[in-house]
Structure 1
Amino acid sequence: MMGAGARELIVAEYRITGLSPVVIAELISDIGPLWHERHQARLTARPRQRAVGAGAKHQFVFADRLLATLVSLRHGTTHDVLACWFGVDRSTITRSVGEVRPLLAQRGCAIAPDVRLRTLAEVIEHLGVDGRSGIIDGTEIRVRRPAAGRKDRDKFVSGKTKQNAVKSMVLTDAEGRMLFCSPVRPGSCADITHARELGLVKLLADGPFMEILADAGFQGMGAQTGGRVVTPPHRKFKKNAPVWYEERHEQQRRAHS
Protein backbone atom coordinates (compact mmCIF):
# COMPACT_ATOMS: atom_id res chain seq x y z
CA MET A 1 0.00 0.00 0.00
CA MET A 2 1.11 3.54 -0.60
CA GLY A 3 2.32 5.42 2.46
CA ALA A 4 0.64 8.37 4.08
CA GLY A 5 3.39 10.65 2.77
CA ALA A 6 2.67 9.71 -0.86
CA ARG A 7 -1.06 10.21 -0.30
CA GLU A 8 -0.41 13.65 1.17
CA LEU A 9 1.75 14.53 -1.84
CA ILE A 10 -1.05 13.64 -4.27
CA VAL A 11 -3.53 15.72 -2.32
CA ALA A 12 -1.18 18.69 -1.98
CA GLU A 13 0.03 18.78 -5.62
CA TYR A 14 -2.64 20.45 -7.75
CA ARG A 15 -1.17 19.21 -11.04
CA ILE A 16 -1.81 15.55 -10.17
CA THR A 17 -5.56 15.67 -9.60
CA GLY A 18 -6.47 19.19 -10.72
CA LEU A 19 -8.27 19.75 -7.42
CA SER A 20 -7.35 21.60 -4.25
CA PRO A 21 -7.08 19.78 -0.90
CA VAL A 22 -10.29 21.51 0.22
CA VAL A 23 -12.26 20.12 -2.74
CA ILE A 24 -10.80 16.63 -2.25
CA ALA A 25 -11.82 16.72 1.41
CA GLU A 26 -15.35 17.73 0.36
CA LEU A 27 -15.49 14.81 -2.10
CA ILE A 28 -14.41 12.38 0.60
CA SER A 29 -17.01 13.67 3.05
CA ASP A 30 -19.82 13.77 0.46
CA ILE A 31 -19.15 10.60 -1.54
CA GLY A 32 -17.47 8.43 1.10
CA PRO A 33 -20.66 7.60 3.04
CA LEU A 34 -22.46 6.75 -0.23
CA TRP A 35 -19.69 4.39 -1.26
CA HIS A 36 -19.66 2.65 2.14
CA GLU A 37 -23.44 2.32 2.01
CA ARG A 38 -23.34 0.69 -1.42
CA HIS A 39 -20.45 -1.53 -0.37
CA GLN A 40 -22.35 -2.85 2.63
CA ALA A 41 -25.47 -3.32 0.51
CA ARG A 42 -23.53 -5.52 -1.91
CA LEU A 43 -22.14 -7.60 0.95
CA THR A 44 -25.55 -8.22 2.52
CA ALA A 45 -27.33 -8.85 -0.79
CA ARG A 46 -25.25 -11.84 -1.94
CA PRO A 47 -25.41 -15.32 -0.39
CA ARG A 48 -22.97 -15.66 2.48
CA GLN A 49 -21.21 -18.60 4.10
CA ARG A 50 -19.77 -16.43 6.84
CA ALA A 51 -21.32 -14.03 9.28
CA VAL A 52 -21.52 -10.33 8.41
CA GLY A 53 -18.20 -8.74 9.37
CA ALA A 54 -16.18 -11.91 9.02
CA GLY A 55 -13.59 -12.59 6.32
CA ALA A 56 -10.78 -10.49 4.93
CA LYS A 57 -10.98 -6.72 5.26
CA HIS A 58 -10.18 -4.54 2.24
CA GLN A 59 -7.09 -2.41 2.84
CA PHE A 60 -7.61 -0.11 -0.17
CA VAL A 61 -9.51 2.59 1.69
CA PHE A 62 -12.00 4.92 0.03
CA ALA A 63 -9.65 7.93 0.05
CA ASP A 64 -7.15 5.97 -2.06
CA ARG A 65 -9.91 4.75 -4.37
CA LEU A 66 -11.02 8.33 -4.92
CA LEU A 67 -7.48 9.54 -5.58
CA ALA A 68 -6.87 6.73 -8.07
CA THR A 69 -10.07 7.65 -9.90
CA LEU A 70 -9.18 11.34 -9.99
CA VAL A 71 -5.71 10.61 -11.38
CA SER A 72 -7.22 8.31 -13.99
CA LEU A 73 -9.73 10.94 -15.08
CA ARG A 74 -7.16 13.74 -15.04
CA HIS A 75 -4.35 12.08 -16.99
CA GLY A 76 -5.89 8.97 -18.56
CA THR A 77 -3.36 6.87 -16.65
CA THR A 78 -3.67 3.15 -17.35
CA HIS A 79 -4.89 0.94 -14.53
CA ASP A 80 -1.62 -1.03 -14.62
CA VAL A 81 0.36 2.09 -13.73
CA LEU A 82 -2.07 3.06 -10.98
CA ALA A 83 -1.91 -0.48 -9.57
CA CYS A 84 1.88 -0.23 -9.27
CA TRP A 85 1.58 3.22 -7.72
CA PHE A 86 -0.99 2.23 -5.11
CA GLY A 87 0.46 -1.24 -4.49
CA VAL A 88 -2.65 -3.23 -5.41
CA ASP A 89 -3.76 -5.49 -8.23
CA ARG A 90 -4.95 -3.99 -11.51
CA SER A 91 -8.42 -5.50 -11.05
CA THR A 92 -8.73 -3.60 -7.76
CA ILE A 93 -8.07 -0.30 -9.54
CA THR A 94 -10.54 -1.17 -12.31
CA ARG A 95 -13.22 -2.07 -9.78
CA SER A 96 -12.54 1.06 -7.72
CA VAL A 97 -12.78 3.41 -10.71
CA GLY A 98 -15.99 1.69 -11.79
CA GLU A 99 -17.48 2.25 -8.34
CA VAL A 100 -16.36 5.86 -7.79
CA ARG A 101 -17.05 7.35 -11.24
CA PRO A 102 -20.86 6.97 -11.01
CA LEU A 103 -20.79 8.64 -7.59
CA LEU A 104 -18.84 11.59 -9.01
CA ALA A 105 -21.33 11.87 -11.89
CA GLN A 106 -24.23 11.72 -9.45
CA ARG A 107 -22.69 14.61 -7.50
CA GLY A 108 -22.66 16.76 -10.66
CA CYS A 109 -20.85 20.03 -11.44
CA ALA A 110 -21.22 22.99 -9.07
CA ILE A 111 -21.44 26.31 -10.90
CA ALA A 112 -22.60 28.37 -7.91
CA PRO A 113 -22.87 27.79 -4.15
CA ASP A 114 -26.52 26.76 -4.50
CA VAL A 115 -26.56 25.49 -8.12
CA ARG A 116 -25.33 22.02 -9.11
CA LEU A 117 -25.91 20.47 -12.55
CA ARG A 118 -26.22 16.69 -12.76
CA THR A 119 -27.82 15.88 -16.12
CA LEU A 120 -27.51 17.10 -19.69
CA ALA A 121 -31.09 18.40 -19.56
CA GLU A 122 -30.23 20.57 -16.54
CA VAL A 123 -27.18 21.94 -18.37
CA ILE A 124 -29.21 22.90 -21.45
CA GLU A 125 -31.85 24.52 -19.26
CA HIS A 126 -29.16 26.47 -17.37
CA LEU A 127 -27.58 27.78 -20.59
CA GLY A 128 -30.97 28.65 -22.09
CA VAL A 129 -32.15 30.79 -19.19
CA ASP A 130 -30.02 33.75 -20.24
CA GLY A 131 -29.18 32.60 -23.77
CA ARG A 132 -25.60 31.69 -22.86
CA SER A 133 -23.25 30.08 -25.34
CA GLY A 134 -21.71 26.65 -24.84
CA ILE A 135 -18.86 24.61 -26.30
CA ILE A 136 -19.11 20.90 -27.04
CA ASP A 137 -16.41 18.44 -28.04
CA GLY A 138 -15.48 14.79 -27.79
CA THR A 139 -12.34 13.63 -26.00
CA GLU A 140 -10.63 10.25 -26.22
CA ILE A 141 -8.70 8.33 -23.58
CA ARG A 142 -6.44 5.45 -24.52
CA VAL A 143 -7.31 2.13 -22.86
CA ARG A 144 -5.99 -1.42 -22.75
CA ARG A 145 -6.65 -3.57 -25.77
CA PRO A 146 -9.78 -5.69 -25.09
CA ALA A 147 -9.20 -9.38 -24.53
CA ALA A 148 -8.97 -11.65 -27.56
CA GLY A 149 -12.29 -13.20 -28.48
CA ARG A 150 -14.35 -10.33 -27.11
CA LYS A 151 -17.34 -9.79 -29.36
CA ASP A 152 -17.08 -5.99 -29.70
CA ARG A 153 -13.29 -5.81 -29.61
CA ASP A 154 -12.93 -3.79 -32.83
CA LYS A 155 -15.35 -1.09 -31.62
CA PHE A 156 -12.69 0.34 -29.31
CA VAL A 157 -10.31 1.20 -32.16
CA SER A 158 -10.48 4.94 -32.77
CA GLY A 159 -10.58 5.95 -36.42
CA LYS A 160 -8.75 9.17 -35.55
CA THR A 161 -5.84 7.95 -33.42
CA LYS A 162 -5.79 4.29 -34.62
CA GLN A 163 -5.55 3.21 -30.97
CA ASN A 164 -7.84 1.46 -28.52
CA ALA A 165 -9.72 4.21 -26.74
CA VAL A 166 -12.96 5.27 -25.09
CA LYS A 167 -14.66 8.57 -25.81
CA SER A 168 -16.57 11.08 -23.69
CA MET A 169 -18.54 14.14 -24.72
CA VAL A 170 -17.78 17.30 -22.74
CA LEU A 171 -19.99 20.41 -22.63
CA THR A 172 -18.66 23.67 -21.19
CA ASP A 173 -19.81 27.27 -21.00
CA ALA A 174 -18.22 30.05 -23.06
CA GLU A 175 -15.44 30.46 -20.46
CA GLY A 176 -14.49 26.79 -20.71
CA ARG A 177 -15.95 25.81 -17.33
CA MET A 178 -17.07 22.18 -17.46
CA LEU A 179 -20.81 21.65 -17.07
CA PHE A 180 -21.28 18.05 -18.22
CA CYS A 181 -19.15 15.01 -19.03
CA SER A 182 -20.94 12.04 -20.57
CA PRO A 183 -20.44 8.33 -19.87
CA VAL A 184 -17.75 6.77 -22.04
CA ARG A 185 -18.42 5.07 -25.37
CA PRO A 186 -16.09 2.93 -27.52
CA GLY A 187 -13.54 4.93 -29.50
CA SER A 188 -15.12 4.11 -32.87
CA CYS A 189 -18.31 6.00 -31.95
CA ALA A 190 -18.57 9.26 -33.91
CA ASP A 191 -19.02 12.51 -31.99
CA ILE A 192 -22.36 13.29 -33.61
CA THR A 193 -23.63 9.76 -32.94
CA HIS A 194 -22.66 10.05 -29.29
CA ALA A 195 -24.48 13.39 -29.01
CA ARG A 196 -27.62 11.94 -30.58
CA GLU A 197 -27.58 8.92 -28.26
CA LEU A 198 -27.44 11.29 -25.27
CA GLY A 199 -30.56 13.08 -26.54
CA LEU A 200 -28.83 16.38 -27.23
CA VAL A 201 -30.67 16.96 -30.52
CA LYS A 202 -34.09 16.68 -28.88
CA LEU A 203 -33.10 18.81 -25.90
CA LEU A 204 -31.86 21.62 -28.14
CA ALA A 205 -34.70 21.41 -30.67
CA ASP A 206 -37.35 21.59 -27.94
CA GLY A 207 -35.50 24.07 -25.70
CA PRO A 208 -34.79 27.81 -25.77
CA PHE A 209 -32.55 29.31 -28.42
CA MET A 210 -28.82 29.30 -27.67
CA GLU A 211 -25.56 28.73 -29.48
CA ILE A 212 -23.46 25.62 -28.97
CA LEU A 213 -20.08 25.88 -30.70
CA ALA A 214 -18.77 22.59 -32.09
CA ASP A 215 -16.11 21.30 -34.48
CA ALA A 216 -16.59 19.59 -37.83
CA GLY A 217 -17.40 16.29 -36.12
CA PHE A 218 -20.87 17.68 -35.31
CA GLN A 219 -21.71 18.97 -38.79
CA GLY A 220 -25.35 18.22 -39.54
CA MET A 221 -26.68 18.95 -36.06
CA GLY A 222 -27.22 22.62 -36.90
CA ALA A 223 -30.08 21.82 -39.27
CA GLN A 224 -31.57 19.35 -36.78
CA THR A 225 -31.54 21.84 -33.90
CA GLY A 226 -32.71 25.00 -35.67
CA GLY A 227 -29.25 26.52 -35.90
CA ARG A 228 -28.44 26.05 -32.21
CA VAL A 229 -25.31 24.01 -32.97
CA VAL A 230 -22.76 26.13 -34.88
CA THR A 231 -20.07 24.22 -36.79
CA PRO A 232 -17.36 25.23 -39.30
CA PRO A 233 -18.59 25.79 -42.85
CA HIS A 234 -18.82 22.85 -45.23
CA ARG A 235 -16.20 22.59 -47.92
CA LYS A 236 -17.99 22.96 -51.27
CA PHE A 237 -14.96 22.20 -53.46
CA LYS A 238 -13.15 18.93 -52.76
CA LYS A 239 -10.85 19.27 -55.76
CA ASN A 240 -9.55 22.13 -57.91
CA ALA A 241 -10.95 24.82 -55.62
CA PRO A 242 -10.34 28.46 -56.65
CA VAL A 243 -7.69 30.35 -54.73
CA TRP A 244 -10.19 32.88 -53.43
CA TYR A 245 -12.38 30.08 -52.04
CA GLU A 246 -9.45 28.44 -50.24
CA GLU A 247 -8.58 31.73 -48.57
CA ARG A 248 -12.16 32.51 -47.55
CA HIS A 249 -12.77 28.99 -46.30
CA GLU A 250 -9.61 29.11 -44.17
CA GLN A 251 -10.60 32.50 -42.74
CA GLN A 252 -14.04 31.17 -41.78
CA ARG A 253 -12.56 28.12 -40.07
CA ARG A 254 -10.07 30.25 -38.13
CA ALA A 255 -12.80 32.64 -37.05
CA HIS A 256 -14.89 29.72 -35.78
CA SER A 257 -11.90 28.23 -33.96
Structure 2
Amino acid sequence: LRTGLTHEALGVIYEVGSSTIGRAIGEIRPLLAERGFAVPDRPGIRLRTLADVFAYAEAENVTLRIDGMETQVRRPRAGRPGRRAFVSGKRKQNTIKTTTISDHQGRTLWSGAERPGRMHDQTAMRTEGIAEQFRQHPEVKAEVDDGYRGLANEFPDQVSAPPSKPKDMGDGPVTEYYGWREHKRRQSSRRICVEHANAEVRQWRPIQRYTGRRETYGETHQAIASLVSDRAAQRPTRRRTSTELVPVRTAAC
Protein backbone atom coordinates (compact mmCIF):
# COMPACT_ATOMS: atom_id res chain seq x y z
CA LEU A 1 0.00 0.00 0.00
CA ARG A 2 2.84 2.39 0.71
CA THR A 3 4.82 1.93 -2.50
CA GLY A 4 2.21 0.43 -4.84
CA LEU A 5 4.37 -2.49 -5.90
CA THR A 6 2.84 -4.91 -8.39
CA HIS A 7 1.91 -8.46 -7.45
CA GLU A 8 4.73 -9.77 -9.61
CA ALA A 9 7.32 -7.68 -7.77
CA LEU A 10 5.99 -8.75 -4.37
CA GLY A 11 6.05 -12.36 -5.54
CA VAL A 12 9.76 -12.06 -6.36
CA ILE A 13 10.48 -10.51 -2.95
CA TYR A 14 8.64 -13.22 -0.98
CA GLU A 15 9.52 -16.01 -3.43
CA VAL A 16 5.90 -16.97 -4.14
CA GLY A 17 3.60 -16.68 -7.11
CA SER A 18 1.66 -13.54 -7.96
CA SER A 19 -1.62 -15.42 -7.40
CA THR A 20 -0.56 -16.11 -3.81
CA ILE A 21 0.13 -12.39 -3.33
CA GLY A 22 -3.30 -11.58 -4.76
CA ARG A 23 -5.04 -13.94 -2.34
CA ALA A 24 -3.11 -12.52 0.62
CA ILE A 25 -3.99 -8.94 -0.34
CA GLY A 26 -7.63 -9.94 -0.76
CA GLU A 27 -7.63 -11.24 2.81
CA ILE A 28 -5.67 -8.47 4.53
CA ARG A 29 -6.98 -5.36 2.79
CA PRO A 30 -10.61 -5.75 4.04
CA LEU A 31 -9.33 -6.16 7.61
CA LEU A 32 -7.44 -2.86 7.38
CA ALA A 33 -10.41 -1.11 5.78
CA GLU A 34 -12.79 -2.21 8.55
CA ARG A 35 -10.56 -1.07 11.41
CA GLY A 36 -11.87 2.47 11.40
CA PHE A 37 -9.95 5.58 12.39
CA ALA A 38 -7.95 6.24 15.53
CA VAL A 39 -9.08 8.80 18.09
CA PRO A 40 -6.40 11.18 19.41
CA ASP A 41 -5.56 10.53 23.08
CA ARG A 42 -8.10 7.68 23.17
CA PRO A 43 -6.26 4.41 22.50
CA GLY A 44 -8.52 1.51 21.71
CA ILE A 45 -11.41 3.65 20.42
CA ARG A 46 -12.10 3.68 16.68
CA LEU A 47 -14.38 5.87 14.57
CA ARG A 48 -16.01 3.82 11.82
CA THR A 49 -19.07 5.79 10.73
CA LEU A 50 -20.07 9.40 10.23
CA ALA A 51 -22.30 9.14 13.30
CA ASP A 52 -19.28 8.14 15.40
CA VAL A 53 -17.37 11.21 14.21
CA PHE A 54 -20.17 13.61 15.10
CA ALA A 55 -20.69 11.99 18.49
CA TYR A 56 -16.98 12.34 19.21
CA ALA A 57 -16.90 15.96 18.03
CA GLU A 58 -19.86 16.83 20.25
CA ALA A 59 -18.40 15.10 23.31
CA GLU A 60 -14.91 16.60 22.90
CA ASN A 61 -16.01 20.01 21.54
CA VAL A 62 -14.02 19.52 18.31
CA THR A 63 -14.61 21.73 15.29
CA LEU A 64 -14.57 19.49 12.23
CA ARG A 65 -12.77 20.32 8.99
CA ILE A 66 -14.34 18.82 5.86
CA ASP A 67 -12.81 18.65 2.40
CA GLY A 68 -12.98 16.49 -0.72
CA MET A 69 -10.21 14.74 -2.61
CA GLU A 70 -10.00 13.28 -6.11
CA THR A 71 -7.86 10.36 -7.28
CA GLN A 72 -7.29 9.48 -10.90
CA VAL A 73 -8.46 5.98 -11.82
CA ARG A 74 -8.51 3.82 -14.93
CA ARG A 75 -10.89 4.86 -17.69
CA PRO A 76 -13.80 2.44 -18.23
CA ARG A 77 -14.10 0.68 -21.54
CA ALA A 78 -15.80 2.41 -24.44
CA GLY A 79 -19.53 1.78 -24.49
CA ARG A 80 -19.69 0.70 -20.87
CA PRO A 81 -22.73 2.11 -19.00
CA GLY A 82 -21.91 4.93 -16.62
CA ARG A 83 -18.60 5.75 -18.24
CA ARG A 84 -19.15 9.51 -18.15
CA ALA A 85 -19.96 9.42 -14.45
CA PHE A 86 -16.25 9.18 -13.61
CA VAL A 87 -15.17 12.20 -15.69
CA SER A 88 -14.40 15.02 -13.28
CA GLY A 89 -15.49 18.45 -14.42
CA LYS A 90 -12.66 20.01 -12.42
CA ARG A 91 -9.72 17.83 -13.39
CA LYS A 92 -10.99 16.65 -16.79
CA GLN A 93 -9.92 13.11 -15.90
CA ASN A 94 -11.52 9.86 -14.76
CA THR A 95 -11.50 10.17 -10.98
CA ILE A 96 -13.12 8.91 -7.80
CA LYS A 97 -13.97 11.43 -5.11
CA THR A 98 -13.65 10.89 -1.38
CA THR A 99 -14.34 13.12 1.61
CA THR A 100 -11.97 13.65 4.54
CA ILE A 101 -12.85 14.95 8.00
CA SER A 102 -10.08 16.07 10.35
CA ASP A 103 -9.70 17.97 13.60
CA HIS A 104 -7.94 21.30 14.17
CA GLN A 105 -4.50 19.65 14.03
CA GLY A 106 -5.02 17.86 10.73
CA ARG A 107 -5.50 14.40 12.24
CA THR A 108 -7.79 12.25 10.12
CA LEU A 109 -11.01 11.32 11.90
CA TRP A 110 -12.89 9.86 8.96
CA SER A 111 -12.44 9.40 5.23
CA GLY A 112 -14.92 7.84 2.87
CA ALA A 113 -18.02 8.60 0.79
CA GLU A 114 -16.43 7.22 -2.37
CA ARG A 115 -18.32 8.52 -5.39
CA PRO A 116 -17.63 8.92 -9.14
CA GLY A 117 -15.70 12.05 -10.05
CA ARG A 118 -18.63 13.71 -11.78
CA MET A 119 -20.65 13.89 -8.55
CA HIS A 120 -20.45 17.10 -6.53
CA ASP A 121 -18.67 17.02 -3.17
CA GLN A 122 -21.73 18.22 -1.31
CA THR A 123 -23.97 15.63 -3.00
CA ALA A 124 -21.63 12.84 -1.90
CA MET A 125 -21.79 13.97 1.72
CA ARG A 126 -25.56 14.40 1.65
CA THR A 127 -25.82 10.84 0.39
CA GLU A 128 -23.90 9.76 3.48
CA GLY A 129 -26.44 11.59 5.67
CA ILE A 130 -24.34 14.50 6.88
CA ALA A 131 -27.34 16.85 7.03
CA GLU A 132 -29.10 14.48 9.41
CA GLN A 133 -26.00 14.35 11.60
CA PHE A 134 -25.94 18.14 11.88
CA ARG A 135 -29.59 18.05 12.96
CA GLN A 136 -28.96 15.37 15.56
CA HIS A 137 -25.85 17.14 16.92
CA PRO A 138 -26.67 20.89 16.92
CA GLU A 139 -23.54 21.72 18.92
CA VAL A 140 -21.11 20.37 16.32
CA LYS A 141 -19.44 22.98 14.12
CA ALA A 142 -17.49 22.54 10.90
CA GLU A 143 -15.25 24.50 8.54
CA VAL A 144 -15.74 23.84 4.81
CA ASP A 145 -14.76 25.28 1.44
CA ASP A 146 -16.86 26.67 -1.41
CA GLY A 147 -17.99 23.20 -2.48
CA TYR A 148 -20.13 22.85 0.65
CA ARG A 149 -21.79 26.27 0.56
CA GLY A 150 -25.21 24.63 0.45
CA LEU A 151 -24.58 23.06 3.86
CA ALA A 152 -23.43 26.42 5.19
CA ASN A 153 -26.67 28.02 3.97
CA GLU A 154 -28.77 25.25 5.53
CA PHE A 155 -26.86 25.25 8.84
CA PRO A 156 -25.49 28.79 9.18
CA ASP A 157 -24.85 28.45 12.93
CA GLN A 158 -22.86 25.23 12.53
CA VAL A 159 -21.10 25.27 9.14
CA SER A 160 -18.69 28.04 8.16
CA ALA A 161 -17.86 28.54 4.47
CA PRO A 162 -15.83 31.23 2.68
CA PRO A 163 -17.81 34.43 2.08
CA SER A 164 -19.32 34.97 -1.33
CA LYS A 165 -17.54 37.42 -3.59
CA PRO A 166 -19.37 40.77 -3.81
CA LYS A 167 -21.16 41.19 -7.12
CA ASP A 168 -20.21 44.82 -7.71
CA MET A 169 -16.54 44.29 -7.00
CA GLY A 170 -15.33 46.83 -9.56
CA ASP A 171 -17.80 49.59 -8.66
CA GLY A 172 -17.96 48.98 -4.92
CA PRO A 173 -15.76 50.56 -2.26
CA VAL A 174 -12.21 49.33 -1.88
CA THR A 175 -12.76 48.54 1.80
CA GLU A 176 -15.44 46.02 0.87
CA TYR A 177 -13.05 44.14 -1.39
CA TYR A 178 -10.25 44.03 1.18
CA GLY A 179 -12.72 43.02 3.89
CA TRP A 180 -13.94 40.11 1.75
CA ARG A 181 -10.39 39.02 0.96
CA GLU A 182 -9.32 39.14 4.61
CA HIS A 183 -12.39 37.19 5.73
CA LYS A 184 -11.68 34.52 3.13
CA ARG A 185 -8.03 34.32 4.12
CA ARG A 186 -8.86 33.78 7.78
CA GLN A 187 -11.43 31.11 6.96
CA SER A 188 -8.91 29.33 4.73
CA SER A 189 -6.28 29.38 7.48
CA ARG A 190 -8.74 27.71 9.86
CA ARG A 191 -9.44 24.85 7.47
CA ILE A 192 -5.96 24.37 5.98
CA CYS A 193 -5.36 21.51 8.42
CA VAL A 194 -7.70 19.21 6.48
CA GLU A 195 -5.60 19.91 3.38
CA HIS A 196 -2.61 18.65 5.35
CA ALA A 197 -4.58 15.52 6.25
CA ASN A 198 -5.26 14.89 2.56
CA ALA A 199 -1.58 15.48 1.79
CA GLU A 200 -0.58 12.72 4.23
CA VAL A 201 -2.84 10.26 2.43
CA ARG A 202 -1.48 11.32 -0.95
CA GLN A 203 2.03 10.33 0.08
CA TRP A 204 0.94 6.73 -0.49
CA ARG A 205 1.45 5.62 -4.07
CA PRO A 206 -2.03 4.13 -4.82
CA ILE A 207 -3.73 7.42 -3.90
CA GLN A 208 -1.57 9.41 -6.29
CA ARG A 209 -2.92 7.45 -9.24
CA TYR A 210 -4.86 4.25 -8.74
CA THR A 211 -4.05 1.65 -11.37
CA GLY A 212 -6.10 -1.23 -9.95
CA ARG A 213 -9.75 -2.06 -10.49
CA ARG A 214 -12.03 0.83 -9.72
CA GLU A 215 -14.26 -1.49 -7.69
CA THR A 216 -11.48 -2.00 -5.12
CA TYR A 217 -10.49 1.66 -4.76
CA GLY A 218 -12.85 2.35 -1.86
CA GLU A 219 -11.45 -0.53 0.16
CA THR A 220 -7.88 0.49 -0.60
CA HIS A 221 -8.56 4.10 0.33
CA GLN A 222 -10.15 3.09 3.64
CA ALA A 223 -7.17 0.86 4.47
CA ILE A 224 -4.63 3.59 3.75
CA ALA A 225 -6.61 6.29 5.58
CA SER A 226 -6.93 4.09 8.68
CA LEU A 227 -3.17 3.52 8.75
CA VAL A 228 -2.53 7.25 8.32
CA SER A 229 -4.91 8.03 11.19
CA ASP A 230 -2.97 5.68 13.47
CA ARG A 231 0.23 7.62 12.90
CA ALA A 232 -1.50 11.01 13.15
CA ALA A 233 -3.23 10.08 16.43
CA GLN A 234 0.15 9.48 18.04
CA ARG A 235 1.16 13.09 17.59
CA PRO A 236 0.87 14.98 20.87
CA THR A 237 -1.89 17.52 21.17
CA ARG A 238 -0.42 20.99 20.94
CA ARG A 239 -2.09 23.76 22.91
CA ARG A 240 -0.88 27.32 22.50
CA THR A 241 -0.19 28.99 25.82
CA SER A 242 0.07 32.66 26.70
CA THR A 243 3.85 32.38 26.80
CA GLU A 244 4.07 30.97 23.27
CA LEU A 245 4.58 34.13 21.27
CA VAL A 246 5.92 34.87 17.83
CA PRO A 247 9.68 35.49 18.15
CA VAL A 248 10.70 39.05 17.45
CA ARG A 249 14.03 39.71 15.80
CA THR A 250 15.84 42.56 17.51
CA ALA A 251 18.64 44.62 15.99
CA ALA A 252 21.71 45.71 17.92
CA CYS A 253 22.06 49.42 18.48
TM, length-normalised to structure 1: 0.62
1:168 partner letter: T
CA contact (8 A) 2:169 2:177 kept: no
Q: Tell me, in whole angstroms, the C-alpha distance in 1 between the residues paired with 2:24 and 2:83.
A: 23
Q: Where does residue 104 of structure 1 map in the other structure?
A: 32
2:141 partner letter: E
Stretches of structure 1 that go unaligned for 5 or more consecutive residues are 1-69
Structure 1 consecutive aligned stretches of length 4 or more whose deviation exceeds 6 Å: 95-99
Structure 2 counterpart of 1:193, from 118, 123, 126: 123
Change (3 A) 1:98 1:155: farther
Q: Where does residue 187 of structure 2 map in the other structure?
A: 256
Structure 2 counterpart of 1:117, from 47, 54, 57: 47
Q: Tell me, in whole angstroms, the C-alpha distance in 2 between the residues paired with 1:96 and 1:164.
A: 28
CA contact (8 A) 1:105 1:118 kept: no
Deviates more, 1:168-177 or 1:101-110: 101-110
| Superposed CA RMSD | 2.6
Change (3 A) 1:145 1:174: same
Structure 2 counterpart of 1:173, from 87, 96, 103: 103
Deviates more, 1:103-112 or 1:125-134: 103-112
1:254 partner letter: R
Q: Where does residue 244 of structure 1 map in the other structure?
A: 175
Change (3 A) 1:222 1:99: farther
State the secondary structure of the residue aligned to 1:114.
strand
Q: CA deviation at 1:249?
A: 1.3
Count of aligned pairs:
179
Q: CA deviation at 1:71?
A: 2.9
Q: CA deviation at 1:100?
A: 5.1
Q: Does 1:227 align with 2:151?
A: no
Change (3 A) 1:113 1:253: same
Query: Which structure is richer in relative contact order (CA contacts within 8 A, separation 6 or more)?
Result: 2
Stretches of structure 2 that go unaligned for 5 or more consecutive residues are 12-16, 189-253
Q: CA deviation at 1:214?
A: 0.7
Query: CA offsets per residue over residues 102-123 of structure 1, 9 Å max, x none?
Result: 4333210121213111111001
Query: CA offsets per residue over residues 67-93 of structure 1, 9 Å max, x none?
Result: xxx237xxxx6xxx7356446879x86
